[in-house]
Amino acid sequence: MLALIQNAWRFYRENDLPTVWRALLQRDAHPLLQFFKYGMCGVAAALTHNGIMLALSLSVFPAGKGMLVDGLPITDELRSYNLVLNNAIAWPFGTLVAYWLNILFVFTPGRHSKMTELVLFWIVSAIGFFPGAFVVKWLAEGCGFSSTFSQLGFVLTSVMVNFLCRKFVIFKG
């Protein structure tokens, strides 16, 4: 790992910005550049997912600690239920953004047919989603943590699974 970091730093130091930018845009970029691009695509997908989740949590299905529902403070049980529901509604949108950006900038499609690739992408996303839903429920309801902290647990749980599965199972690399 240290050698990968040293090689990436050497490449950055020895090349001008246009060369680094071209390398960043190539799918067969250095592994650290590829992970960086994956992270940026993940940020865009997470912003999409969490933006929708937050909008729903503030309006349609209240999920903020201390919010009022029918004039009464929201219970941890209802809050955690609504957090899971809001995440379930937001999930397909974030997944579509992730797929689109990953095939444009990060991974080389072609290991599987387009349909198989898309189905596998959704399966991997679901594998990351369901443990994330468990974690958000456990943190919000079981531990009484804030909705924001609980949502962070959801995001971290999902990200851990997705990169490796997408890199080694779905795409060519």
Per-residue pLDDT of the chain (173 residues; tens, 9 = 90+): 677 678 778 877 888 888 877 877 777 777 777 778 888 898 999 999 999 999 999 999 999 988 988 889 999 999 999 999 999 999 999 999 999 998 888 888 888 888 998 899 889 888 888 888 889 889 998 999 998 999 898 888 887 777 778 778 887 75
Taking the complete model, does pTM exceed 0.85, yes or no? Answer: no
CA pair distance 164, 173, nearest whole angstrom: 10
Question: Residue 166's closest CA among 113, 115, 128?
Answer: 128
Work out the burial of residue 3: count CB atoms within 10 Å of its CB; fewer than 13 is exposed, 13-18 middle, 19 or more buried.
Answer: exposed
| 91, two tokens | 């999930």
* Beta bridge pairs of residue 72: 69
